[in-house]
Amino acid sequence: MTTVITPPGRLNLPAWRELWEAREVLYRFGLRDVILRYRQTAIGVAWVVLQPLAAAGIFAIVFGQVANLSSGAVPYFVFSFAGMLVWNLFNGIVSRASPSLVANQALVAKVFFPRMLVPLSSVLSVLLDFLVASGMLVVLLVLYGIPVGWQVLTLPLWVAAAVVLASGVGLAGAALTVKYRDVNYTLPWLMQILLYATPVAYSLDEVGDLRWLFNLNPLTWLLECFRWAVLGTEMPPAWQMGGIAAVAVAAFLAGTLVFQKMERGFADVI
Chain residues in the site for other proteins (CB under 8 A)? 1-8, 24-25, 28-29, 31-32, 35-36, 39-40, 106-107, 109-113, 179-183, 264-265, 267-268
CB of 183 to other proteins, least distance (A): 8
**Distant-in-sequence, close-in-space partners of 53: CB < 8 Å, separation ≥ 6:** 81, 136
Please state, in angstroms and rounded to a whole number, the distance separating the CA atoms of residues 91 and 219.
11
Length of the chain: 270
Amino acid at 4: V
HSE of 154 in the Cβ direction (CA atoms, 13 Å)? Answer: 19
CA-closest candidate to residue 245, choices 150, 165, 172, 152: 165
Chain center to CA of 144: 27
The residue (of 58 and 111) whose beta carbon lies closer to other proteins is: 111
CB of 171 to other proteins, least distance (A): 18
Q: How many CB atoms lie within 10 A of CB 49?
A: 17
CB of 4 to other proteins, least distance (A): 5
The residue (of 74 and 171) whose beta carbon lies closer to other proteins is: 171
Q: Among positive and negative, which fits the CA dihedral 249, 135, 60, 37?
A: negative
The one-character DSSP state at 1 is -
- Please tell me whether residue 40 adopts helix, strand or coil conformation: coil
Please state, in angstroms and rounded to a whole number, the distance separating the CA atoms of residues 201 and 68.
12
The residue (of 71 and 122) whose beta carbon lies closer to other proteins is: 122
